[in-house]
Structure 1
Amino acid sequence: MSAPGPTAGDPAQAPGNEEPRYEPAPGVGKLALWVLLFVLAAVVVVAGGVYFG
C-alpha cells in the first residue's frame, strides 16, 4: 500500500524541509484597523441617514 496523502487538517509541508509551516496569526493592529474601518462606515451610514432623512 502507498502512504496516505495529507488530510485537510495537516499543515503545509515546505519542499525539502520536514518541519510544518503555519500561517502567522493576524496582529492586533490589523484587527483594530478592521474594527475602526467598520465603525467609520457605520458612522457614515448613520450620518447620511440623518442628513438626507
Structure 2
Amino acid sequence: MIALIQRVTRASVTVEGEVTGEIGAGLLVLLGVEKDDDEQKANRLCERDTRLPHL
C-alpha cells in the first residue's frame, strides 16, 4: 500500500470523457492498494501520514 499526497489548486477525475469528481484547493491523495494489503497496513499508512509536516 502506498499513498502520494499532493497539494492542488484544483483537480478532477475524468472517465471516458466525463468528469466524475472534482475538488477546488485542497489535498489530492492517490492511493495504491495491492491484493495482500490489509487493515493493519492501512492503519500504519494513516498513522505515518498524520505525522507529516503541514503541506
**TM-score when scaled to structure 1?**
0.32
Which protein has the larger Cα radius of gyration, Structure 1 or Structure 2?
1
**TM-score when scaled to structure 2?**
0.31
More strand by share: 2
